[in-house]
Structure 1
Amino acid sequence: MQIKKSYKFALKTTFLITLLLTLILSVFLSIFYELKWYPLLAFALLCYITSFFVIQYRVQNFIYKRVKKIYDDLKLLESTSFKKERITTDMATLTQEIDKYARDKKIEIETLKVREEYRKEFLGNVSHELKTPLFTVQGYLETLIDGAANDKKIRDKYLDRANKGVERLIYIVKDLDMITSLEVGNLSMELEHFDIVALIESVFDLFEMKAHKKRISLTFDIDYTAPILVKADKEKIQQVLTNLIVNSIKYGREKGTTEVSIENLIKNKVIVRITDNGEGIEKRNIPRLFERFYRVDKSGSRKEGGSGLGLAIVKHIIEAHDEKIYIESEFGVGSEFSFTLEKAK
């Protein structure tokens, strides 16, 4: 059975006090009186017992009051960190608790700083993305109001451009609405069984003209003669494929290739890979690639259009299916995005 540290302190201190007083008394008796061992032993015993209780009480009371004040002060700072537990006077235990509290607070402060930086960057990006089409629309409308509307040719041209600016605004707002719903978990998932090969072919057909403009080939790695059935939300997986394939075309090189493969991963999983031989991504950019509005090439990517939310939406859709998304890329060589899906039983 371990002895409390406060008792150890009291026992040692009492022993020293008793030893010192007994020695002084024995010297005094030997000089002025006759030295007798029985009274001296009785004095030592009485002194030891009395000193122990006095010292223990005083030390316990002294430390307890100050330790309690520390606990009370910490409770004011964070009521959830220190629950209603027995207050210890053990300095080592108290030190450990204060160290833990300090570490937790440091982590919390660092997290808040990161979030604050992310918030500032996010607001700046949102402002930029919305500002560009808004100013475009405003400029064309003001020109029309100032008299250009009288010229039918200019009027039709400017109205068409203003309409494209509004469409871009709607596109950004819709993507923001979707990613917000995905992040808070409010977007419902309608799971069904479908052929992933047929879905990829339909996405290829949608963007065949876009790829043809850059002379990029959209192809499978092999001929998939049999259907591969998966269980997922078909509409949202189509959006995932759309965003990834559009990105591969957007950042692909002239006369390049976007290749899709479907492989068995484990017994009940397949992995879909979208590989291109485009410009690739530098390693320093990869960890932030799925952040909202994060762009590797700030200027060039805006010329290509898009909301800047595509990859963030892809990540959230895949994670909403409880699946994983991966990226491998080598700058100047190309990129591969891959994600898992559950097989249909």
Structure 2
Amino acid sequence: MQKLKKTYKFAIKTSLYLTMLLTLLLSVFLYYTNALSWLVLPFIVIFYILSFITIQYRVERFIYRRVKKIYDDLTLLEATTLRNQPITTDMATLTKEIDKYAKDKKLEIETLKVREEYRKEFLGNVSHELKTPLFTVQGYLLTLLDGAVEDKKIRTKYLNRANKGVERLIYIVKDLDMITKLEVGDLSLNKEVFDIVELIQSVFDLLEMKAAKKKITLTFDMDYPEPIMVHADRERIQQVLTNLIVNSIKYGREKGTTEVSIENLIKNKVIVRVTDNGEGIASEHIKRIFERFYRVDKSGSRKEGGSGLGLSIVKHIIEAHDERIYIESEVDVGSEFSFSMEKAE
């Protein structure tokens, strides 16, 4: 049996109280007047029914008007979840709906605040990253315009430095353009079957000189005599590996090691791990490490160069493959970045 609506309960109880009061008064009246007592019972029943109908109607109308105003007010706030539902006069249901709406709005406001903070920080970072090379280029060009252009030695030196500043600007803009395309899905992947072991070795060869400057060893965790075939965009995965290994060299310790391993994850997946024994990343930075321009060390990391977009690009490329990237790190112990890949059939 379904529970009675709250307004019905209110009407029933109120009618009962009124009927009891009237019965009491009527009994006193009949006691003193000796009127016809057989009329009392039908009168009480009729009075109770009429009281119930009147009270129920008035309560329904009162609540409906108040609730309709609430719904109308919320509609102005684009409360689509409420607007698409029929208006209810049940207080319990209404309370749940309003409570849910309030929680959703609170979450929405908090999300907007976080996004606003991220937007401000992002714009500040973009401004800083672009400002430094721009001012550098401008400084060299103004020096040349002020007369240094006549000195062939200085002219060549300053033009080369200005050119490096322009190259850095182009590098940042290209990375930003790539992230934008990855986010909106405009950058199509050219998937093919290739040997991931061979690709990692080619990245090692490419970065061998860079690693040698810090006496860092680039190595596999073991020998892989057989090829491990995967299905992905070879060029993009090479970019992922390059960014991860370059980062391990940048923040690795002198005479350290960067080790890459390939493991079977499940039947049709492998996981590639890039591990170093460098300075590591504090836990409070890990959740933001893939954000654009986010830097753990605001000063030192800028000296290392780069656009500050490498890890963000890595994350977007992996997610464009419908795969996941993971990070484990401990300060003064090292970091491990790992990502899954689809094995070729």
Q: If the TM-score is normalised by the length of the shorter chain, which range does it land in?
A: over 0.9
| AA partner of residue 11 (structure 2) | A
SS in 2 for 1:3: coil
Q: Distance in 2 between matches of 1:86 and 1:124?
A: 47
Please, what is the CA RMSD of the aligned residues? 1.1
* Unaligned residue ranges in structure 1 (runs of 5+): none
Q: Distance in 2 between matches of 1:86 and 1:114?
A: 34
For residues 92-134 of structure 1, give each alpha carbon's deviation from its aligned partner in whole angstroms, at most 9, with x where no partner exists. Answer: 1111111111100000000000000000000000000000000
Aligned length: 344
Partner residue of 1:144?
Answer: 144
Q: How far does residue 81 in structure 1 lie from its aligned partner after superposition?
A: 2.3
Matched, 1:8 2:14: no
Q: Distance in 2 between matches of 1:43 and 1:265?
A: 82
8 A Cα contact 2:79 2:101, kept in partner: no
Q: How far does residue 42 in structure 1 lie from its aligned partner after superposition?
A: 2.3
Q: How far does residue 323 in structure 1 lie from its aligned partner after superposition?
A: 1.0
8 A Cα contact 1:75 1:81, kept in partner: no
Which residues of 2 match residues 196-215 of structure 1 at below 5 A?
Answer: 196-215=196-215
Partner residue of 1:133?
Answer: 133
Q: Distance in 2 between matches of 1:4 and 1:333?
A: 64
SS in 1 for 2:287: helix
8 A Cα contact 1:22 1:43, kept in partner: no
Q: Distance in 1 between matches of 2:26 and 2:120?
A: 77
TM superposition score normalised by structure 2: 0.97
SS in 2 for 1:18: helix
SS in 1 for 2:231: strand
TM superposition score normalised by structure 1: 0.97
Q: Distance in 1 between matches of 2:261 and 2:41?
A: 94
Matched, 1:279 2:276: no
Q: Distance in 1 between matches of 2:227 and 2:46?
A: 95
Q: Distance in 2 between matches of 1:56 and 1:224?
A: 81
Partner residue of 1:103?
Answer: 103
| AA partner of residue 16 (structure 1) | Y
Q: Distance in 1 between matches of 2:337 and 2:5?
A: 61
| AA partner of residue 297 (structure 2) | D
For residues 162-190 of structure 1, give each alpha carbon's deviation from its aligned partner in whole angstroms, at most 9, with x where no partner exists. Answer: 00000000000000000111111211011
SS in 2 for 1:81: helix
Q: Distance in 2 between matches of 1:277 and 1:311?
A: 18
| AA partner of residue 172 (structure 1) | I
SS in 2 for 1:194: strand
Partner residue of 2:260?
Answer: 260
| AA partner of residue 10 (structure 2) | F
For residues 38-74 of structure 1, give each alpha carbon's deviation from its aligned partner in whole angstroms, at most 9, with x where no partner exists. Answer: 1111221221122121111111111111111111111
Partner residue of 1:188?
Answer: 188
| AA partner of residue 9 (structure 1) | F
8 A Cα contact 1:26 1:35, kept in partner: no
Q: Distance in 2 between matches of 1:310 and 1:217?
A: 21
Q: Distance in 2 between matches of 1:143 and 1:260?
A: 47
Q: How far does residue 84 in structure 1 lie from its aligned partner after superposition?
A: 3.7
Q: Distance in 2 between matches of 1:223 and 1:166?
A: 42
* Unaligned residue ranges in structure 2 (runs of 5+): none
